[in-house]
Structure 1
Amino acid sequence: MVTTSQPNPSLSARLWNRRLDGYPDTGPRMGYLLVAVLATVVLYYELYVGGGVAPLILAHYKMSFTYYVNILVVSNLVGAFGSLAAGLADRWGRANLVTYGLLLTGLLMFAVPSAPNTLVFAALSVVVGVVEGVILVATPALVRDFSPQLGRATAMGFWTLGPVAGSLVVSAVAGATLTRLQAWQSQFHIVGVVGLVMFAVAFFGLRELSPGLRDQVMVSVRDRAVIEARAKDHTAEVSHPWRQMMGRDIVAPALGISIFLLIYYSAVAFFTIYLTTIFGFSTSEANGINTWYWAIDGVVLVAAGIASDRLRVRKPFMIVGTVVSVTMTIVFLSRATHPDTGYGTLVLIISLLAGGLAIAYAPWMAAFTETIERRNPALTATGLAVWGWLLRMVVTASLFFVPYVVSSMNALVEAPAYLEAAKAAGASPPPALLEKLGEIKSAAAAAPGQWQTWFWICVIAQVLFVPLMLPLAGRWSPKAARAEVEAHDRDVERLLGSGSS
């Protein structure tokens, strides 16, 4: 029987103390995992909602593409240091960071669309990025705590549904409501309500393991009695946490996955703009294509996690996923010079691309947390903070360089307003307007080739992921992995037979 709280906790204890002193049974444990995953979905929904209506935001604020990208750059840069700060979750815990982060971001979703100018809009967007940087570390740390290694890839597959399902919900809600509600601000208001509801769910339903429990390695649920017996007297070596977590087996794979996901960052930030400017789709149609991308990504993430746990290997999935993603990124970039490419063709291409990324990512998350545990399970959040910081720094760098590689986008984003002005001017538009129309025509001709250059950079990054992920923990052979688990089970049986002391 697990005691989750005092019989009559004080108000301050109810507001802050969320620790469990015993490892929860399967039902409650699944419940905590579900809340952590749902919280992640909502937080990423809030983070990505602007991308679903980016063309409308740019038009509303008369914002250039470069300015918009610079907001994303600063938001991710500051968020990177939010991820570093979240390494303190090893000392302060994880659940409160998630719960009160949901309250803050939920309120911000009503403030952001009310910003009177671009500067205030940018400042509020940066605050959202900081909170997301913290959550990027706290939620996977919670998922790791509640998932033994033999189910880790499945659990991480569900956790990764956070950013994926968040993006899917952005596209689905925008596609379903924009034509009726019209105003882009409505999308922020919808997610704000959802965020505050999720805060209430987390407030009452999210808990975390005590340090004595979470600071140990749990291979399977059969280890429960052993780790509970050790928890009372367990002391972990947590001095010099950053030094402990800055080894090659942590840094190289973290950098590898960060650059592997360049095409993913592009999808989040730019696919709506890319599809509307290159292929001429409406914002609603572009979100419809994005919906397919995120839906396939989510399904394959969970399927890959389950398969990885069944076979008890991680790295072979990373290789297969890389081959698929590289192939489909090349196919995708080849369509940039074919603006007549149909809706269905693009859906098929990006769905296969999403599937390749997912096959690699869920097993990578499992292997990375297992590698952290190999170094020091008491510093899980610190190890994830290293990954979160590198991830956000790579995102920052990639977003910074996109406007230089795809320099034509400023003119294309502004094109609808100038085309409307030309239509109103009739047969005699002013010289300045004619000059601007010439710039737009030149930009339209240059944009496909520039996007292809960027996507080739993404391909190179995906290839580099392979050597960088090699230091991760884990076997290549299912047979060898199975033998290792069986040996561990025999050790656990011996410990239980001797009183686990």
Structure 2
Amino acid sequence: MKPFYVRELTVYPVGRRRIYLLAIAVLASLIANFETTISTILPLLMADLDMSLQFYGVIAAVSVLVGGLSAGFGGILSDRWGRVTILVPTLTVTAACNFLLATVDTANGLLWVRCLMLFIEGAGITITASLVRDFSPRLGRAQAFAFWTWGPVGAAWLAALIAATTLPLFGNHWQSQAIIMGVVSLILCAIIIWQIAEPSAALRAQVMQAESELNVEEKIDPGRVRELLRHPHLWAHVFGNTAWQILYWTFAIFGVAIMTSGFKMETATANGVVALAIGLNAIVVVVVGRLSDGRQLRKPFTLVGVVLTIAVLAYYISILGTPASPTHVALVYGALFVALGIGYVPWMANFSEDAEDVDPRLQGAALGLWGMVVRVMIVVLLLVAPAVVKVGGWQTWLIVALVGQVVFAGALAAFRGPWRSPAPTVEKTTA
């Protein structure tokens, strides 16, 4: 018996209905990212709990590792039990955990609460990606994943806006933000519970090229996860993109710190540069997704993106530590995020389609495996990057990230899919 909030579709939605359900999946992605955001209150939190940056690094590493384990298992369970069955409780319970966060008064208490929140959240983010796949035929897959990436971007923007507006009203007490985030998240969760739906297991098992391909539900057996493990090109996707994400997460976690120390920028100026770059990235991913879908090509776009990233990153490393103007740095940083956007969304569509070709019933498991490996990498980054920077500076660590981009470019050779669009067929007519 399904929970009350689960609505299964036996016919594939088309037109506005499909777009609407895609929008609900993107909203779920935003909630999953928003309700665990802590960067806006981190300085206040560290001061109040008398916590060092090093100890917070340990908290972040352990909680991310816990979230990685959850991502792997959550993907597998969502394939077997359904997306919404797992997603709604994870979103709702994590939102409620923000009220628990507001009661924390020690660094050890923060560790336990963050581990709990990210264990629940890890499965939720993976499932939102699976839902996006379920509601996006291949003719629109890259565009759909482009909008899905707006989840973390929108979450960071929403958290910053709320903090900037409400912190002064509550005497700069960080607990106010935890409570507000809990309330906002629960309200958004109510919308999700009211509106969300998912394709039946039989529909999820279909490879859909266009939304006009309708299917009627039939009984199917769940796929076996070990089938994914027998395909080297899927491992190339997982580990190749994980190497690519070393750079992304370096900037996501330390981007402002790199600019304030490397270019002697004011914190506000550095945040402005980051905001500009994220805005450019949000636009580029949609444009590139549309182009990739229009030509039904993934690998050429990914290759162009990673080559541009390598070139711009090499230049960024060369000017780090020089008296470059904020405008100069903003142009380079913006170009870097444009290049990252060009490569990422077509890759995600490519990975989804390659996993789909192995077994469309295991989409959640494939995305969960990827999410788990990426989170293990983030743990290593949190523990290793500060030590490398202490010895060799940020240039040394960014060279490590540059090598990750090269590894991803090499892994691209193992991905499936065409390098050029098929030639149009011309039908012969007889007189």
**Do both proteins adopt the same fold according to a TM-score greater than 0.5, normalized to the shorter chain?**
yes
Structure-2 residue corresponding to 1:235: 220
- Output the amino acid matched with 1:354: F
CA offset at residue 40 of structure 1? 0.6
Query: Please, which of 222, 226, 249 is the counterpart of residue 265 of structure 1?
Result: 249
Report if the CA contact (8 A) 2:14-2:211 is conserved: no
Task: Please provide the CA RMSD for this pair.
Answer: 2.5
Report if the CA contact (8 A) 2:26-2:148 is conserved: yes
Aligned: 1:197 with 2:187: yes
- Output the amino acid matched with 2:122: G
The Cα offsets for residues 252-275 of structure 1, whole Å up to 9 and x where unpaired, read as 111111110112111222223334
- Output the amino acid matched with 2:387: Y
- For 1:132 and 1:405, the matched residues in 2 are separated by 30
Structure-1 residue corresponding to 2:158: 169
Q: 1:279 to 1:123 in 2, by over 3 A?
A: farther
- For 2:274 and 2:161, the matched residues in 1 are separated by 8
- Alignment gaps of 5+ in structure 1: 1-11, 408-445, 488-501
Q: 1:354 to 1:167 in 2, by over 3 A?
A: farther
Query: Please, which of 388, 402, 405 is the counterpart of residue 462 of structure 1?
Result: 405
Q: 1:329 to 1:62 in 2, by over 3 A?
A: farther
**Equivalence map 1:389-428=2 (5 Å):** 389-407=372-390
Aligned: 1:118 with 2:134: no
Structure-1 residue corresponding to 2:350: 367
CA offset at residue 381 of structure 1? 0.9
CA offset at residue 295 of structure 1? 1.4
Structure-2 residue corresponding to 1:380: 363
**Equivalence map 1:293-312=2 (5 Å):** 293-312=277-296
Structure-1 residue corresponding to 2:420: 477
Structure-1 residue corresponding to 2:43: 55
- Output the amino acid matched with 1:132: E
Query: Please, which of 60, 66, 81 is the counterpart of residue 69 of structure 2?
Result: 81
Structure-2 residue corresponding to 1:490: none
CA offset at residue 461 of structure 1? 0.2
- Alignment gaps of 5+ in structure 2: none
- Output the amino acid matched with 1:196: L
Q: 1:178 to 1:286 in 2, by over 3 A?
A: farther
| 2:144 alignment partner, SS class | helix
Aligned: 1:145 with 2:128: no
| 2:212 alignment partner, SS class | helix
CA offset at residue 279 of structure 1? 4.6
Q: Greater shift after overlay, 81-90 or 51-60? A: 51-60
Aligned: 1:31 with 2:16: no
Report if the CA contact (8 A) 2:137-2:208 is conserved: yes
CA offset at residue 282 of structure 1? 5.2
How many aligned positions are there? 425
Q: 1:22 to 1:383 in 2, by over 3 A?
A: same
Report if the CA contact (8 A) 1:80-1:388 is conserved: yes
| 1:475 alignment partner, SS class | coil
CA offset at residue 192 of structure 1? 2.4
- For 1:278 and 1:190, the matched residues in 2 are separated by 35
Query: Please, which of 6, 9, 27 is the counterpart of residue 20 of structure 1?
Result: 9
| 1:357 alignment partner, SS class | helix
Aligned: 1:249 with 2:233: yes
Report if the CA contact (8 A) 2:228-2:355 is conserved: no
- For 2:238 and 2:399, the matched residues in 1 are separated by 21
Q: 1:52 to 1:93 in 2, by over 3 A?
A: same
TM-score w.r.t. the length of structure 2 is 0.91
CA offset at residue 107 of structure 1? 1.6
Report if the CA contact (8 A) 2:72-2:369 is conserved: yes
- For 1:186 and 1:308, the matched residues in 2 are separated by 43
Q: 1:343 to 1:454 in 2, by over 3 A?
A: same
- For 2:275 and 2:309, the matched residues in 1 are separated by 18
Question: Highest CA radius of gyration, 1 or 2?
Answer: 1
Report if the CA contact (8 A) 2:14-2:212 is conserved: no
- For 1:193 and 1:281, the matched residues in 2 are separated by 35
Structure-1 residue corresponding to 2:327: 344
